[in-house]
A = this chain, B = another copy of it.
Amino acid sequence: MASPISDDKKVRRRMQVLSLHLGANKVSPMSLIGSNICLSGEESELPEEDPVFNDRSNALFRMVAGKHRSIHEPILYYFRQHPELVNPVEMLKDEHRELTMRQLEAIVWEIGLRPLTLLSQDPAKYFALTEAVGHVDLSLGIKLGVQYSLWGGSVINLGTQKHRDKYFEHIENLEYRGCFAMTELHHGSNVQALQTTATFDKETDEFVINTPNEGATKWWIGNAAVHGQFATVFARLILPSSGSAGDTDMGVHAFIVPIRSLQTHAPLPGVEIRDCGFKVGLNGVDNGALRFHHVRIPRDNLLNRFGDVSKDGVYSSPLPTLNKRFAATLGELVGGRVGLAAGSVGVLKAAATIAIRYSLLRQQFGPPNKPEISILDYQSQQCRLLPMLASTYAFHFATDYLVDRYVEMKKTLDDEVIADVHALSAGLKAYVTAYTAKSLSICREACGGHGYAAVNRFGSLRNDHDIFQTFEGDNTVLLQQVSADLLKQFKKKFEGRALTVTWNYLRDSMGTYLSQTNPVVTHRDGEGHLRDPNFQLDAFRYRTARLLQTAAFRLRKLTKQHGSFEAWNLCLNHLLTLAESHIETVILEKFIHAVNRCDDKTAKSRLKLLCDLYALDRIWQDIGTYRNQDYVAPNKAKAIQRLVEHLCHEVRLVAKELVDAFGIPDFILRAPIGLKSRQYSEYSHIVGF
C-alpha cells in the first residue's frame, strides 16, 4: 500500500501535467483541476485547434463525443503524458492490480477529480468519467466503480447524514478504500437469500457480523483481496428476542465493516480474507472472499436510511414492509447499471473503431487483373460490422437518455420516474452488454490473424468486458425484471391507470397494434415506406405489444395449472424475448428522436442512414416473427433483406467519418491496426513492430 503523496508534490505534479498539455495557451490550469473540472459547464476550455481533438468542427463528433469533453480530455491527456501508467500488452495479475491502483490514485490525487462529489451532485459527469477511464483500461473503470459507485455509493445512498459526515471525504480522497460485500458463494442473483447475519447485541450496543457456513462466504468482492480497508456488508439483521420467543430476522440490511487496519493494513481480528485469484479478465481488480467470525461493529455502522435499530433494540423504518425496504435498498444501486450500460457502449465504440478502420486498410483478393479491394468492400464484412456501427450509435443515444432520466430521478425522487429508470436501466444494461460481448468476438474474427495480436486489444476488451453481463445483476435475471414490469404496466392499462413514460406507447396504441394488419401495408415494399420511421416504430411496437399480450394470456392460463413459479419458468424464453423487444423499441425511439433534433444537414443524413439500418436490420433478424403473424408479406421480407444490404453499402462509404466521430484518440485506442493517423504504407509498424 502506498500512502497518499504529499500535498506539495500533488500540486507540483498537476501543474507539470497541465503545462504539458496546455502549452502556451492562456487557459487557467486551475479551471481544469479539482472541483473546477467536475462542476464546470459542458464546454471544455482546452484549445479548439488541439490536434488530438481536431474533429470538433464535425457536427457528428460534437453530438457523440463532444458532450463530456470537459471530463474526458484531462484524463486522456494525462495518460498521454504518462505512458508509464498505461497498461502494457502483457502483465501478471499482481502487477496489473498495483498499476490499476496507481492509475486510480493519479486520477484523484494528480488530475484532481472528485468522483464521489460527481456521483452525488452531477451523475452524468460521473458516468462520462467512467467511460473515459474505461478507454484507458476496463480494470481501472471497475476499480473506480468499486470505490465510488459501490463502496461510496452504498454509504451515501443507504446511510444517513452521520455516515456522510464521517466517511465522504475519506472515501473521496482514497484514504478509506472499500468493498461492496453483497454476493455470497451460494447466492448471487438471489440476494434475498443471503445468509450472513448481523445480530444486535444490546449489552454492548453493537452488531455481531457472522458467516454461518461456507456457502455464506462473501465472494468476488472487488478491492477485498489487496486494497480494501472497509466493506459495506449485506447481512440479515437479527434482533434477539428479550423473552422466550425466537430471534427476529428483519431481512437484508447493509453495514459498514472495517476489514483491515488503517495503520498496518493487516486483516482485523475475526475477518478472514482470501484471494479469488486469476480471472478471465479485469485482473487489475483484486477480487477476494470474506468470512466474518463474530466480528463486532458499533450500532452506528448500520446504514440506516431505510431501517434503523434503537439503543434498546427496537426496529424502525420509514417503509412499512420487509419487501419494500429490500426493494428500496437494492433500488439505490441502480446507478451501477447505468454506468455499466454507458461503459459497455464505450467499449463497443472502441472495438468498432478498430475493426472498421482495419477493414478499410486491409486489402485481399479483387477482380481479375485489378488491384485487390478493401475487405470492407465485401458484402459479408459490411453486414458483420456496419449494423454493429449503427447499433453503437443507437446505444449511444439510448444510454444518453438513460443517464438523463437517472439525473432526473435523483432530483425529483418521483415514484413513477424511479420505476421507469429501474426497468430501463436493467433492460439497457442487459441488452447492451450482451450485444457488445458478441460484437467483440465478431470484431476479432473480422480482423483475422491481426485481430489475434494482443496489441490490437480485442482479446483484453472481450475478456474484461465479458463479466459486464453478469455483475450488477445477471442479464437473464434483469431481463425478467423488465418483463415483470411490462406485465405490471399491462395490468395497469386494463385498470385505466397511468403508465410510466417509457411504456407510454403501449397505452396509446396497444389496440391498434393488435388489430388485424392492413393487407396493403403488409405488402408495401418501396424504399420510402421501409425507411419511414413510422413504419419502423410500428413494427417494433407491434412485436412488443403482441409478445406482451400473449405472455399475459399464457401466464394466466399456466398459473392456474402449475402455480406462478412454474408458469413463469414455462414462459421464460417468451418473457426474455419480450424484454429484448421492448428495449429495442426504446432504443429505436431514442435514435429517431436524435435524428430529428440534429440541426446539421450532413450529420442528420448520416444519422438517418444509421437509424434506418438499425431498424431494418433488427426487423430482418427477427423476420420469422413478422412473417408468422403476416405482419410483412414475403415480398416485403425480401425487400427488407435487400435494403439492409444496400444500406450497409451506403454506410460503408462514410464509415471512416462515422468512427472518427467517436473521438477516441490514437494514444488511448492504442491498437496499431485501428489508428486514425497511420497509413497503409506503414502497415508493418501498424501491426505492432
Binding site for B on A (CB under 8 A): 89-90, 92-93, 183, 185-190, 193, 214-215, 217, 219-220, 274, 276-281, 289, 363-368, 372, 377-381, 383, 437-438, 441, 444-445, 448-449, 451-455, 458-459, 463, 466-467, 469-471, 474-476, 563, 565-566, 569-573, 576, 622-624, 627-629, 634, 637-638, 645, 683-684, 687-689
Closest 8 CB pairs of A and B: A280-B459, A624-B624, A623-B624, A379-B572, A367-B565, A278-B454, A627-B627, A90-B278
CB-based contact A185/B683 at 8 Å: yes
- The docked-state distance in angstroms from the alpha carbon of A552 to that of B458 is 37
* Chain B residues, CB < 8 A from A214: 683-684
Q: A185-B684, A437-B441, A448-B470 are in contact. List 14 more A-B contacts (CB 8 A).
A: A188-B449, A189-B364, A189-B365, A193-B372, A214-B683, A279-B452, A279-B459, A280-B453, A378-B569, A437-B445, A445-B469, A573-B645, A622-B624, A629-B634
* Chain B residues, CB < 8 A from A572: 378-380
* Chain B residues, CB < 8 A from A444: 280, 466
CB-based contact A92/B89 at 8 Å: no
* Chain B residues, CB < 8 A from A453: 276-280
**Contacts known (A372-B190, A452-B470); A476 close to B278, Cβ less than 8 A:** no
**Contacts known (A90-B278, A441-B437); A448 close to B645, Cβ less than 8 A:** no
* Chain B residues, CB < 8 A from A629: 634
Partner pick for A377 among B186, B276, B365, B569, CB 8 A cutoff:
B569
- The docked-state distance in angstroms from the alpha carbon of A81 to that of B321 is 59
CB-based contact B449/A470 at 8 Å: yes
- The docked-state distance in angstroms from the alpha carbon of A475 to that of B451 is 14
CB of A623 to closest CB in B, whole Å: 4
Query: What are 17 A-B interface contacts by the 8 Å CB criterion?
Result: A90-B277, A189-B448, A190-B365, A190-B372, A220-B449, A274-B689, A279-B454, A280-B451, A280-B453, A280-B459, A379-B573, A380-B576, A383-B573, A437-B441, A441-B441, A445-B469, A623-B624
CB-based contact B565/A366 at 8 Å: yes
Closest B residue, CB atoms, query A623: B624
CB-based contact B573/A688 at 8 Å: no
Closest B residue, CB atoms, query A681: B214
* Chain B residues, CB < 8 A from A438: 441
* Chain B residues, CB < 8 A from A634: 628-629
- The docked-state distance in angstroms from the alpha carbon of A460 to that of B366 is 36
CB-based contact A277/B688 at 8 Å: yes
Closest B residue, CB atoms, query A641: B573
* Chain B residues, CB < 8 A from A190: 364-365, 372
CB-based contact A566/B449 at 8 Å: no
CB of A323 to closest CB in B, whole Å: 13
Closest B residue, CB atoms, query A629: B634
Closest B residue, CB atoms, query A444: B466
* Chain B residues, CB < 8 A from A289: 689
- The docked-state distance in angstroms from the alpha carbon of A415 to that of B515 is 60
* Chain B residues, CB < 8 A from A466: 441, 444-445, 452, 459
* Chain B residues, CB < 8 A from A563: 367
**Contacts known (A189-B364, A441-B441, A441-B466); A219 close to B449, Cβ less than 8 A:** yes
* Chain B residues, CB < 8 A from A364: 187-190
* Chain B residues, CB < 8 A from A189: 364-365, 448
* Chain B residues, CB < 8 A from A183: 449
* Chain B residues, CB < 8 A from A689: 274, 289
- The docked-state distance in angstroms from the alpha carbon of A574 to that of B381 is 13
CB-based contact B280/A454 at 8 Å: yes
Closest B residue, CB atoms, query A565: B367
* Chain B residues, CB < 8 A from A628: 623, 627, 634, 637-638
- The docked-state distance in angstroms from the alpha carbon of A571 to that of B571 is 38
CB of A649 to closest CB in B, whole Å: 9
- The docked-state distance in angstroms from the alpha carbon of A624 to that of B471 is 34
Which of A220, A280, A475, A687: most chain B Cβ within 10 A? A280
* Chain B residues, CB < 8 A from A367: 563, 565-566
* Chain B residues, CB < 8 A from A280: 444, 451-454, 458-459
**Contacts known (A90-B93, A463-B463, A684-B215); A455 close to B277, Cβ less than 8 A:** yes
Closest B residue, CB atoms, query A289: B689
CB of A129 to closest CB in B, whole Å: 25
CB-based contact A445/B459 at 8 Å: no
**Contacts known (A383-B573, A684-B185); A565 close to B368, Cβ less than 8 A:** yes
**Contacts known (A365-B189, A437-B441, A466-B441); A278 close to B380, Cβ less than 8 A:** no
CB-based contact A379/B454 at 8 Å: no
CB-based contact B445/A471 at 8 Å: no
